[in-house]
Amino acid sequence: MQLQDATVLITGANRGIGLAFAREALARGARKVYAGARNPASVTLPGVEAIELDVTQPGQVAAAAQRCGDVTLVINNAGIANLGGFLAEGGIESARAHLETNFFGLLRVSQAFAPVLAANGGGALLNVLSIASWINTPMLSVYGASKSAAWALTNGLRHDLRAQGTQVLGLHMGFVDTDLTRGIEMPKSTPQDIVRRAFDALEAGAEEVLGDELTQQVKRGLSADPGIYLRDARA
C-alpha cells in the first residue's frame, strides 16, 4: 500500500511513535491524517485532524469509524506499558488493564474499521507490536503477555481480512526512545527510524517488519534449540 494520497487513522497519535507516524504519513503525501487521542487538545501537529479516541471506549471507537469513513490505512498504535510481573501485588489488575488497551483496544478498532477499509478498496492495518511478543522479562512480563496476545490477534486478522484485500502488517521492535521507556537504561531506536522502516515495509507489500537489529536477532532465535524465549531476556 502506498502512503501517497492515503487517508490514515492513527490511534495514540499525540506523542511518541504515534506522532512520528503522523509526521511521516504527511511527509509521504497522505491526503488526510486523523490523529486519535484521548484528549484531542493534546494533538498539536499541524496538518492533521484531531479526533477523540480512547480505544477502551466502544462508543468512541464506533463514533470514529462513522466519522472517518474515508480511511484507507489504520495504524493501531495506542498502548500502555507498565512495569511489573505476574506475581507482584496487583498483577491481575495490571494484566486486565494491559489487555484492555493492547489487545481488546486493537480488536475493537480493527472490527470497527474493517468494513470501512473494505468499502475503500481494502487498504491496510498496521499493528504496532513489540519484541516482547516473543521474549519476556520480569520487569515487563505483564506487558509482554498483552503483546503476545496482540501478535496472535494480528496473525488472525491477516487471514480474516485477506479476502477483502486488506494488507495486515505487524511491526515488532525493541526499546524506542519515547515516554513509555523513560527510565529504562537500554539501547533505544528513535521513533523516526522505526516509522520509516514500517512505512517502507508497508509500501513494499510486507506482512511483517522487524524494526531493529535486536528484533531480527530475537526472531532468528525463536527456532533455536533451546528457543530464545526459554531464557530470561536479561541474560
pLDDT digits (tens, 9 = 90+) for 18-64: 999 999 999 999 999 999 999 999 999 999 999 999 999 999 999 99
Global pTM? 0.94
Helices (H), the chain: 16-27, 58-67, 91-99, 106-119, 141-161, 191-203, 213-221
Could you tell me which residues come within 8 angstroms of residue 81 by beta carbon, excluding any fewer than 6 positions away? Answer: 98, 140, 143, 180, 181
Task: Render pLDDT for 177-217 as a digit per residue (tens, 0 to 9).
Answer: 766 656 566 666 899 999 999 999 999 999 999 999 999 99
Element (H, E) at 103: none
Per the CB < 8 A criterion, the answer to whether 128 and 85 are in contact is no
Torsion (CA) 168, 172, 178, 184 in degrees, nearest 10 = 160
Picking from 142, 154, 153, the residue whose alpha carbon sits closest to that of residue 209 is 154
pLDDT of the residue at 26: 98
Per the CB < 8 A criterion, the answer to whether 80 and 54 are in contact is no
pLDDT of the residue at 233: 61
Per the CB < 8 A criterion, the answer to whether 107 and 194 are in contact is no
pLDDT band at 108 (very low <50, low <70, confident <90, very high): very high
Q: Of residues 101 and 188, which shows the higher confidence score?
A: 101
* Cell numbers found for residue 107: 480488536
CATH superfamily placement of domain 7-230 = NAD(P)-binding Rossmann-like Domain (3.40.50.720)
- Biggest alpha carbon distance in the chain? 50
pLDDT of the residue at 175: 80
Indicate the SS3 state at residue 88: coil
Per the CB < 8 A criterion, the answer to whether 192 and 155 are in contact is no
Starting at the edge strand that comes first in sequence, how are the strands of the sheet with 167-172 ordered?
Answer: 49-52, 32-37, 7-10, 73-76, 124-128, 167-172, 208-210
Question: Which residues belong to the active site?
Answer: 143, 147
For residue 191, is the peptide bond before it cis, meaning its omega torsion is within 30 degrees of 0?
Answer: no
Residue located via cell numbers 531464557: 231
Give me the residue spans of the domains in the chain.
7-230
Indicate the SS3 state at residue 55: coil
pLDDT of the residue at 184: 61
Picking from 64, 39, 59, 35, the residue whose alpha carbon sits closest to that of residue 47 is 35
